[in-house]
Structure 1
Amino acid sequence: MSRKPAGHIAPYTHPAAGWDALKQVAINLVREKVAGGNYKTLLKQNQPDGFDCPGCAWPDREHASTFEFCENGVKAVAAEATSKRVTPAFFAAHTVTELLRQSDHELEQHGRLTDPMVYDAASDKYIPIAWDRAFALVARHLRALPDPNQATFYTSGRTGNEAAFLFQLFVRMLGTNNFPDCSNMCHEPTSRGLPGTVGTGKGTVTLDDFEQADTLLIFGQNPATNHPRMMNELRDCARRGATIVSINPLRERGLERFTSPAHALEMLTGASTSIGTLFVQPKLAGDFALIKAVAKRLVERDDAALAAGQDSLLDREFIARHTSGYEAFEQDLRAESWDLLLTESGVPRAQIEQLTEIFIKGSNIISTWGMGLTQHKGAVKTIQMLSNLMMMRGQIGRPGAGLCPVRGHSNVQGDRTMGIEEKPTPAFLDRLKKVFDFEPPRAHGYDTVDSIQAMLDGRIKVFFALGGNFAMATPDTPLTFEALRACDLTVQVSTKLNRSHLVIGKEALILPTLGRTEIDLQNGVAQGVTVEDSMSMVHLSYGMNKPASPNLLSETAIVAQLAHATLGSAKVDWLACAADYASIREMIEQVFDDFHDFNARVAHPGGFHLRVASREREWRTPSGRAQFAPHAVDTDTPLHRARAQHGERLMTLMTMRSHDQYNTTIYALDDRYRGVYGLRRVVFIHRDDLAMLGLRNGQHVDLVSVWDDDVVRRAERFLLVEYDIPRGCLGAYFPETNGLVPLHSKADIAGTPTSKSIPVLLEPCAA
């Protein structure tokens, strides 16, 4: 297939993956100038003698299967293995002001950071700094704070367990629970919602359950782009006859047809597998009403079955033995208005009934979800409503069935397990106190949004980021920039250049770190790091490539040396931890009972599974039972109020990734499954909305956020692209549209920015 010219919009009619994916692999390897000797790294990805993919958190089968192709994994590995370098000479040639003018894609293309750098305000440039001087600078700022809560410590989901554990221990010994992390911006509603219903913030299934499932409900997720290895599981399920339902505002190509690069016959014959059985397209923020509608219809169908003398359609034995609160929940369903559910979901009654029949027919049902469910004001109650629905038919805690939140970065779940949590439990803090002989801070700390506001208010003076691209991952971009610039010191631990290195406090440091693919030698001994995937499997991973620079330190070593410089080593021998990561794992097993015999168990190929109590129908809730949670449909949200003010011209915007993107990392400018080539400033819109607004396909518009403050939030010059999306809804890429998300527009209880339900108006572009 010939490549489309830059700036081209064209429907994509091929199956997902296939030869196009292999072609993109070659393009990425050439673009990153990956040295020939590093190609072998791709074949060692997710292998027993290789390393864990630094990309997504989708699990592997025993970490020992045959090579499992993943286009996004290749992009992540190629980005780390690139031969391009950002050296002190690069910084000497560019001011920070000059670099700020470059796009996020351009910044990514410069390559790997090689040396620690400190900002020199006089020249507006970064200049080299020795590691010991860099640690001393951070330590001096931290020790000078009148209150340790004036510092906040961000963690990326790519940080391994060992570094994350040391990081939380260091920061709590310093005296604060300020731990904003990437969970705050993605699956926090899962972490806050599930404990209230099933007693855990994690999923209840493993990959083995997919082999037994006959029905899969996929909510708010685009696995072909965001978790490509998941597609092979869906392919296998579809080929043995499982029913797969995609519930998403966009009808994504990857959930229609898929050609697996891991199966030679499909590739050679041009065959493909049909994935989706039914596509349900709720309007944005309509998932809660849709799920509640299915639950209400299930009660009605159960009434009819019982009246006809048939067996109940509910799992009444499960409900009686394992749950609490069903009667109140059922009463709430019966009282709910069908008209309200249909209006709020945006899904026709006939399709709701079709989905309900699929749910009734399914014997073993798995519900998966991504950020399409979590980045809304009502996200927590949506997750709980999905739990309610699954519990009605006993679809939790048995083989082939359960809840499956699919997380993003490779260790975002592991970081939370290790204690990267601004609201730690008393039990966890008590264990830290017992093991390490100090009094941990008990007050809850700042999450991501709270940290930004605290920086704006002058309550935070030091910002430290262990990975990530905070400036571009967060909402309300101009306010976030202002917040970071108000700090006395900003520190970024990174592998590659990004915008967060350029949006800086009065003083700023760049601390370059090893990537997951690189050999981590400590005292001449290669060290491995562990991660926990979305299904609670813990793996050990060793890098294979020569480090991009001899002046890089691992994240673990950076944390240990900073802790030593700040606190000394009277209670913890930080430098000994940095010299032998196995010693950190021994500390971890003293704090977490589930990590007993950590080093021995993780040495086994495939690692080990962390026990999830609800998977075994042990419910760690106050009642000791799974808890039904009734919730009303909220009709007084910012979206409702904005629509009341502006009428049908008010649109709801969702931000999303393109295919050549992973979180804020922009590998290239295409989104081929949606037919976009060489462009990023596009907005997807229904054809009838174009007509209603008096706009035309291909026209440029500005997007203006609607919020109840006096701040003007505008994203300029976006190309309108007619697309299969519900009326009243829009889609556009982040981070370009993050500035439209008001800082305090967030999920109830969870605090997650509402990046999938932003009220906006479209205005013809003035330019």
Structure 2
Amino acid sequence: MSKQETPNMRNVSHRGPDEFSELKIGEPVRIAAGTQGVYQALKHSFKEMGVLRSIPALFKMNQKNGFDCPSCAWPDPEHPSPIAEYCENGAKALADEATTSHIGADFFRKYSVEELSRFTDYQINAFGRLTEPLILRENSIHYEPVTWEESYDLIAEYLMSLRHPDEAIFYTSGRSSNEAAFLYGMFARALGTNNLPDCSNMCHESSGVALSETLGIGKGSVKLEDLYEAEVILIAGQNPGTNHPRMLSALEKCKAHGGKIVSINPLLESGLVNFRNPQSVKGMLGGGTQLADVHLPVMINQDIPLVKAIMKKLAALDKETGDVFDHDFIRDYTDGYAELMEDLDRYDLAELIGQTGVGEEAIDEVVSYLAGAEKIIVCWAMGLTQHKNSVATIKEYVNLLLLKGAIGKPNSGTCPVRGHSNVQGDRSVGIMHYVNKGLNERIEKHLGFTPPAHSGVDVVGAMQAMHDGKAKVFMCLGGNFLMAASDTDYTAEAIRNCELTVQVSTKLNRTHLVTGKTALILPTLGRSEKDVRDGVEREVTTENSMGRVRASKGVLKPASASLKSEIEIVAGIANAYFREGHPVNWKAMGEDYGLVREKIDLVAKGFEKTSERAKGTGYYLPNNARERDFSKLPNGRAKITVNPLPDHHLAMDEFMLMTVRSHDQFNTTVYGMDDRYRGIYNERRVLFMNPGDMQEIGLKKEDVVDLTSEYDGILRKAYKFKVVPYDIPSRNLAAYFPETNPLVPHNHFAEKSRTPISKSIRVRIEKRTDI
């Protein structure tokens, strides 16, 4: 019997349908936020939550005595706006989580997993909140109710049956709290495995590696207030108008203080064209603020030659005047300056500029900003982190900052803008697949057990282990692993090889439908919901993108009385597995979050008196780069590095594709079908393409094409995309994920960090003649 014919194989679609909606194409909207942003935020909120539920929740989001936004990790200001400290996408994330649409046993009796898999990801998400624990038994196609106790015991039974703890994998999403992530990581280690892949492995792992190797800490060095009076801010590979809209307020303050903002991106994104701040009269009624002074439309993954060209021009100016580079800082705090200068001398300036696709006049304008500036910040997101050479690319931007002495002083430094709201906190409290000797020592001292001394698997390793049959139990603390990971077909096959899959979730997603032989859905409280035990409202903590830890306490009535917090769920599973025979009192920590924070303070680095200090605006974790302390690095100095140019070897008929989000989307969660900033309505299967390239290969607007990628002799395909002419560099393409994730090979990833190459995929275009 073939693999496709095994009795437990369900006829489930892991890609979803590929039929088109009625695509409408308009002009890209070049004004971010403003009245339209307010309208869309309230429209979505009122539709999903109702007016009476929306208003109190929106007023409490990102406030000192409220809850942390479940969307991006952008930090809150010292003095939040009392009216609206949230953005359009934050409001959509809240409405999505706090929707009054609920699904339970009746829903799953009506729909089989096979039927549900025929819906789009947007439709699956729109069904509503999960309200009770569910089990999909082997050979069944319907989820059915199960008690919490039965769920815990079943998971414990499967874990006990493993031949080795490494046959279990524990994935973490950035949605979880510090307390839940800490307990989760400690349970995995108590079990005997470091198999702790997390969403960082798919997004900002490259940032962590590059910054650790050059500055000695895998986090950014700036605080929110540093952006206000920076002289120059470079925004590279980031679309803040859609992905981090509250960042635009900080950029507006920078502009008000005379700062210059440079956008570096293949696409001109609307948020950096004109921002109308909905918190000000000028923003609502006036003309708004032009944010980007210069846009450099760099070709996909050609940032290294761009930065080299900039540094080469700055070096020439420095030879003339001697004051363009901060030579005192270079001498006192860095290693590698001479080697970098030798490297720059090897390149022909015209060839570097030609490789970028950017006009020299625009580069010269940026050089003029940087030459006289002392306070410089570089911001970036996944446009830099998801390439084969991502670590080197980020290091090249760090080189620029080090040459200017723009590290460890006010209004200067590195600003990797994280995606999900607590992805940085997860890592800080111990979600990591590698062995940290100091962490292991503290675990043994303060928790009383010996953690494993061998590395576990990251996301790529998890996919491979499941695909090869080396992993039997796969548990996800939040997230939508199937649609977030690369190589969708391969990932689906991997998940189906498991004996048991467990999803801790608020809403239905496709990973609940593509499962192991047996599957559990454990519904959890949303961040906006009250977490009450014995009449006491409990709070959790999170860490934002700039290293501040703060308390978060929900305000809404939970979607169901059956819901449990992630902390309770993890503690319940651990208690069922260990019973009374373990030095950690898992049951007690599931009840009293203060006990968890006490252990975090002892075990995780930099946390101190968290229950007390996280109140209000919270407190910052230590950051050596802010203090110009590079003592952990070789010679105690920051590292200036030499990085090679990218070389993709595009064939004559190949294009370079980058995946992007729509404005109605956060990570893999699709809130709607519109991307008004790019002028796309009612459809997601679109391919943004240079008009000249379209003409050259004989394509017209809205022609239907398939996309293929070929790596290592394996052909991958994404079906049915409508071509949309767009202002994008020649030979470059853009399309939404997760629809294009099937094109990303699982075994091609960034050097050192192993993030997928989702922003630079070599593809071919095949015109459909049957449509």
TM-score by length of 1: 0.95
| Residue 141 of structure 2 corresponds to residue 129 of structure 1 | no
Deviation at 1:524, TM superposition (A): 2.5
Match of residue 584 from structure 1: 596
Amino acid at match of 1:120: R
1:717 aligns with 2:715: no
Q: Contact conserved, 2:30 with 2:271, CA < 8 A, in 1? A: no
Secondary structure of 2:431 counterpart: coil
Number of the residue aligned with 1:168: 185
What amino acid maps onto 2:613 in structure 1? R
Aligned counterpart in structure 1 of residue 249 of structure 2, from 193, 211, 232:
232
Moved more, 244-253 or 438-447: 438-447
Listed as ranges, the matches of 1:44-63 within 5 Å are 44-62=60-78
SS in 2 for 1:22: helix
Equivalent residue runs for 1:130-169 within 5 Å: 130-169=147-186
User: Which region of structure 1 is more displaced relative to structure 2, 236-245 or 409-418?
Assistant: 236-245
Q: Report the AA paired with residue 232 of structure 1.
A: S
Is the Cα–Cα contact under 8 Å of residues 29 and 678 in structure 2 kept in the other structure? no
* Map of 1:547 onto structure 2: 558
1:421 to 415, 432, 444: 432
1:631 lines up with 2:633 in the alignment: no
User: How far apart, in 2, do the equivalents of 1:550 and 1:750 lie?
Assistant: 41
Give 1:456's aligned residue.
Answer: 467
8 A Cα contact 2:63 2:85, kept in partner? no
Structure 2 SS opposite 1:158: coil
Q: What does residue 504 of structure 1 align with?
A: 515
Cα distance in 2 for residues equivalent to 1:413 and 1:286:
27
Larger mean Cα displacement after TM superposition, 541-550 or 209-218: 209-218
Q: Structure 2 matches for 1:728-767, cutoff 5 A?
A: 728-767=731-770
Residue 20 (structure 1) shift:
1.2
Where 2:634 maps in the other structure, the secondary structure is: coil
Aligned residue runs from structure 1 range 339-738, under 5 A = 339-569=350-580, 570-603=582-615, 605-619=616-630, 620-635=632-647, 639-640=648-649, 643=650, 646-647=651-652, 649-710=653-714, 712-738=715-741
The answer as to whether partners of 2:325 and 2:403 remain within 8 angstroms in 1 is yes
Question: Structure 2: which 5+ residue stretches go unaligned?
Answer: 1-20
CA contact (8 A) 2:46 2:54 kept: no
Question: Are the aligned partners of 1:46 and 1:63 in contact in 2 as well (CA < 8 Å)?
Answer: no
Matches within 5 A, 1:71-110: 71-110=88-127
User: What's the CA shift for 1:14?
Assistant: 4.7
Instruction: Quote the Cα distance in structure 1 between the aligned partners of 2:190 and 2:356.
Output: 47
For 1:459-478, what per-residue CA distance to the aligned partner results, in whole angstroms no more than 9, with x for missing partners?
11110000000010011001
Distance 2:273 2:192 in 1: 51
The 2-side partners of 1:211 and 1:235 are apart by 8
Code of the residue aligned with 2:166 in structure 1: it is N
Offset from partner CA, 1:153-210 (integer Å, 9 cap, x none): 1000011000001111110011111111110110000011111111000000001211
1:29 counterpart letter in structure 2: S
SS at match of 1:367: strand
Deviation at 1:300, TM superposition (A): 1.9
Is contact 1:62-1:607 (8 Å) kept? no
Alpha-carbon separation, structure 2, partners of 1:744 and 1:27: 42
CA deviation profile, 1:199-225 (whole Å, cap 9, x unmatched): 000000001211221111000111010
- Letter paired with 1:104: D
Equivalent pair of 2:228/2:251 in contact (CA under 8 Å): no
1:633 is displaced (CA, Å) by 1.6
Cα distance in structure 2, aligned partners of 1:420 and 1:538: 16
CA distance in 1 between counterparts of 2:485 and 2:101 reads 28
Contact in 2 for aligned 1:178/1:447 (Cα 8 Å)? yes
Structure 2 Cα separation of the partners of residues 535 and 459 of structure 1: 37
1: CA distance, partners of 2:442 / 2:29: 56
Q: Flag the 1:664–1:193 CA change in 2: closer, same or farther, 3 A.
A: same
> Which stretch of structure 1 is more off in the superposition, 153-162 or 517-526?
517-526
Deviates more, 1:473-482 or 1:434-443: 434-443
SS of 2:377's equivalent in the other structure is strand
How does the TM-score come out when normalised to structure 2? Answer: 0.95
Residues 522, 580 of structure 1: 8 Å contact kept: no
Q: Distance in 1 between matches of 2:272 and 2:483?
A: 29
Which string of whole-angstrom CA distances, capped at 9 and with x for unpartnered residues, describes residues 559-604 of structure 1? 111111112342111111011111111111111352122222112x
Instruction: Return the offset for 1:489.
Output: 0.6
Task: Supply the distance in 2 between the matched residues of 1:713 and 1:671 (Cα, whole angstroms).
Answer: 27
Q: In the aligned structure 1, how far is the partner of 2:393 from the partner of 2:202?
A: 16
Deviation at 1:6, TM superposition (A): 5.1
* Aligned-pair identity (%): 45
Q: Name the aligned partner's letter for residue 563 of structure 2.
A: L
Contact 1:64 1:606 in 2 (8 A): no
Shift in Å, 1:441: 1.0
The alignment partner of 2:711 has SS state of: coil
Which 5+ residue runs of structure 1 have no aligned equivalent?
none
8 Å CA contact 2:199, 2:423 repeated in 1: yes
* Aligned counterpart, 1:248: 265
Note if contact 1:302-1:312 (Cα within 8 Å) is conserved in structure 2: yes
CA apart distance, 1:122:
4.4
Deviation of 1:330 after TM superposition, in Å, equals: 1.5
8 Å contact from structure 2 (residues 237, 265) kept in 1: yes
Matched residue type, 2:658: M
Give the number of aligned pairs.
Answer: 747
Residue 104 of structure 2 aligns with an amino acid whose one-letter code is: T
Are the aligned partners of 2:687 and 2:721 in contact in 1 as well (CA < 8 Å)? yes
Counterpart Cα distance in 1 of 2:712 and 2:348: 29
CA distance in 1, matches of 2:610, 2:657: 45
Give matches, 1:241-390, under 5 Å.
241-267=258-284, 269-303=285-319, 305=320, 310-390=321-401
1:96–1:124: 8 Å Cα contact kept in structure 2? Answer: yes
**For residue 23 of structure 1, what is the amino acid of its counterpart?**
Y
After superposition, the Cα gap between the structure-2 partners of 1:531 and 1:731, relative to the gap in structure 1 and judged at 3 Å, is: same
Query: Aligned AA for 1:686?
Result: N
In structure 1, what is the Cα distance between the partners aligned to 2:494 and 2:605? 39
Q: Do residues 24 (structure 1) and 27 (structure 2) align?
A: no
Confirm or deny that 1:190 pairs with 2:207: yes
Contact 2:62 2:69 (8 Å CA) reproduced:
yes
Say which SS state the counterpart of residue 344 (structure 1) adopts: helix
User: Following the alignment from structure 1 to structure 2, what is the Cα–Cα distance between the partners of residues 590 and 339?
Assistant: 55
SS at the partner of 1:432? helix
Instruction: Confirm or deny: 8 A CA contact 2:324 2:372 kept in the other structure.
Output: no
State the alpha-carbon separation in 1 of the partners of residues 347 and 196 from structure 2: 39
Q: Secondary structure at the residue paired with 2:551?
A: strand
